[in-house]
Amino acid sequence: MADNTLWVGALTAGTAVVASWVTSRGTARAARIQAETAAAGQLTDRIRAARRIAYVDVIEQAQRMGDLYWKVTDTQDDPDADNRLSTLKDLRISLRDAYAMLRHRVWVVDLEGPQEVAAAAERLRRATSDNYRALEAMISGDADAGRRFNESYAPFWQAVLVFVSTAREALRDTAATTSIGQ
């Protein structure tokens, strides 16, 4: 009987060791999967936050440029030709600085992606060209330049709205990816 007890004890101990090993492997695998899922979710959250900041920066800069465009429009009504010309030249300098900042922010969006948002940002950047050319013509004395300047505001603003819509959709897609991945 002692021999059977030894065999039963050895079998029980062996079974316990194997069960422990299997359990520890399963627990380790579950922990690894959980850690990978959490890391992927955090990465997606960081990407989304970086994109959101880049998109907001472009929108804010476009708004600053829009404000300067309104000042140009208001300046057109100044009856004092010398004051009007001086103000337009000052606004041209401000618009150059604002454009440089917009260009930089568009490049950041191009880095952050996705491609459709980068393309919308680039279209927004290019939508400033007609305004600037019309402003240059106003400063040069072109009588029709004021009308062209005013007409170029709507396409610029439409490009801003398209960018906002495209960026919003991209952020929603990123958020959906995050919730699906977890």
| CB-based contacts of 29, cutoff 8 Å, min separation 6 | none
Give me the pLDDT at residue 54, please: 97
| CB-based contacts of 67, cutoff 8 Å, min separation 6 | none
Read off the pTM. 0.79
Structural domains of the chain, with CATH: 49-181 (1.20.1420.10)
Tell me which residue of 71, 165, 84, 90 sits closest to 120, measured CA to CA.
165
pLDDT digits (tens, 9 = 90+) for 115-152: 999 999 999 999 999 999 999 999 999 999 999 999 99
**Average pLDDT, integer, range 1-13:** 72
User: Rounded to an integer, what distance in angstroms lies between the CA atom of residue 4 and that of residue 176?
Assistant: 61
**180 has pLDDT over 50:** no
